[in-house]
Chain A
Amino acid sequence: MSLDFKPGAFNGFFRDETFRDDFTYRNSPEGIRRFPFPFDRDDYMYSVNMEPHTSGRKGSVFEHTFDVDEHYVSEMIDRAKVLAEDPLRCQSLPHMTLAGWDLLELIMESKARDYPQWFSLTKDGNRWHWINRPLGIDQTFTFLDESTLPYGPFEYITRQTQGDFSLQDERDNDLWMDAGMITSQADWSLDFDIGMSFMEWHAPVPLAHEKGIFDRALKFLLKLQHGAPVRRFNWTMTVNPLLDTAPETYPKWGPTRTTLSQDNMGNKMHLRVELQALFRLPRSNAVAFSIRCYLGKFEELVTVPKWGRRLHRVVRDLHPDLAAYKGFLRNRDAMAQWLSAYDDGKPTSPGWWPED
């Protein structure tokens, strides 16, 4: 299953598009309306901002446990290409195999329940039959027997699921990132960070440690219960719809930050939103993070008047340390200038929904 998808699946719903080279990725008008715009007010600063990951508004990215959208098939092809170029983007320390099975079960059960038209899971004891129609996969295997799958359970299921995933082992009152499938990351290296504690892998984040954000977040996550997942947003900015902004390949994509002008800003600059969901896993007691990346072009987002006004104000007023950490300090003024045309100074309503 490396690049041998049989996606006869670009039939109407799933878009045939690229996240590299010619960058044909875009959102449909329906996709823009359901974009998870992450700002619920006109300014931004870190907060723990976690809420229960329960089923949200119908049609929104919160409706299902693992959102499957129009970019699904193309994202999975992009992931396969990243892994073919650099297998170190998926790693799992030896003691994390059981957590991988836990995650496989969670994803298969969720997708089969939420999207029966695309996924099906039938069980005969430990003999499981999984069908993934969009990717053309039909797999019979024995649950908890690695030899019956073409990859380890963690890699197998995350090659079929949008978003990056990391698995945290809980020891010594801490969470240790001991496995990851990381191909659509906002510039951090799994290969470097694997095995780190919660505070260690968050160490480079500015301002938040001093505000006690990570102390509170870790305490909160250690209490996470099976069956009661939580979610939060994170965000950054990315030039071109490039999912794989990895530090490993920074010399390749870094120069694109110098290619922006007022003429191409709307098409090239993307708000990159991470919908992070956290799940306690039942057998391993590990914590799964899903880090789902949504990319929205500036020119797409400003078609929603409220978002155009608000995005301008957030970008213009963001603390410079955060703009630097998120990698867009050098372009911030130009971004704010382009967005200012969509801010008429009118007040915005609270919350992130497009028309509330």
Chain B
Amino acid sequence: MTKTEFPPAIKSRPVYGVLAPRPGALHLIVADGDGAAAVTDLLAKASDRASMLASTHIIYTPGPDGTDRSADLAALGAAQCYRAPTIPTLLPRLQRVLIDAHMGTQFYLAGTEGLIGQAERDIMATGFPATDIQKEHRGSTVRRVQCVHCKGITENVATDPFKCSHCGLNLYVRDHYSRRLAAFQGVNIDAEDPGQIPQSVVKFK
């Protein structure tokens, strides 16, 4: 599976590139699911692969669709490689590592938007510039969505509309995206005509 291509969208919607090696004291890689393939591609491009691997820390978790390529990453031979069972269990480790990360650290994020967005949020909260963070989307396009009404976040939204997992309102999914929340916005679809809810369709796979 290669880099995901998204249709053009509004300007708050994140855009993704292709990971490329950059000189750095530490290479911090955070990935999920099919993002593992972006990581192996990244290291294949390194001019001095052994030296890059010696200063690489990989934090990985399976994707929302169950894709688990942790064995591929473990086989790379990075200085540190960790598999977390879920994104919520991955984040405390990332936050701990960020405390010791110095300027000159290069960040590589790969996989789904939920993983990339939350890792980017935590990295930027520590003050690293966005220019030190590379992002490549691979795999599932399910969305992390905040309900604008109750503020609850629903993970892995596949359909539009969907039911908020917190307050139960039927929400349509906007492209409007908050990097601070690492979430798209969900808005009540039948607010003006209560009960008139369009057929839910799978929009994010």
Which residues of A are at the interface with B, using a C-beta cutoff of 8 A? Answer: 88, 189, 191-196, 199-204, 209, 247-251, 254-255, 257-258, 330
Are B149 and A248 closer than 8 Å at their CB atoms? yes
Partner of B192, one of A201, A248, A249, A255: A255
A195 touching B179 in the complex, CB below 8 Å, given contacts A189-B185, A248-B148, A251-B169: yes
B-side binding surface: helix, strand, loop or mixed?
A: loop
* Given pairs A189-B148, A248-B148, 18 additional interface contacts (CB within 8 A): A189-B185, A192-B176, A192-B185, A195-B179, A200-B12, A203-B11, A203-B175, A204-B12, A209-B11, A247-B149, A249-B149, A250-B148, A250-B187, A250-B191, A251-B149, A251-B169, A254-B188, A255-B191
Q: Which residues of B contact A249 (CB under 8 A)?
A: 149
Q: Which residues of B contact A209 (CB under 8 A)?
A: 10-11
A203 touching B13 in the complex, CB below 8 Å, given contacts A189-B185, A192-B176, A248-B149: yes
B114 CB, min distance to chain A CBs, angstroms: 17
Which residues of B are at the interface with A, using a C-beta cutoff of 8 A? Answer: 10-13, 146, 148-149, 151, 169, 174-181, 185, 187-188, 191-194
Are A201 and B12 closer than 8 Å at their CB atoms? yes
Partner of B193, one of A189, A200, A201, A258: A258
Are B148 and A247 closer than 8 Å at their CB atoms? yes
Q: How many A-B residue pairs have CB under 8 A?
A: 67
A193 touching B178 in the complex, CB below 8 Å, given contacts A250-B187, A251-B169, A255-B192: yes
Q: Which residues of A contact B181 (CB under 8 A)?
A: 192
Complex CA gap A248/B10 in Å reads: 21
A-side binding surface: helix, strand, loop or mixed?
A: helix
Q: Which residues of A contact B11 (CB under 8 A)?
A: 199-200, 202-203, 209
A192 touching B178 in the complex, CB below 8 Å, given contacts A199-B11, A247-B148, A250-B187: yes
Q: In the complex, what residue of chain A is closest to B9 when comparing beta carbons?
A: A203
Are A254 and B191 closer than 8 Å at their CB atoms? yes
Q: Which residues of B contact A250 (CB under 8 A)?
A: 148-149, 187-188, 191
Q: Which residues of B contact A202 (CB under 8 A)?
A: 11
Q: List 11 A-B contacts (CB under 8 A).
A: A88-B151, A189-B185, A191-B151, A192-B176, A195-B178, A196-B179, A196-B180, A200-B179, A248-B148, A250-B188, A250-B191
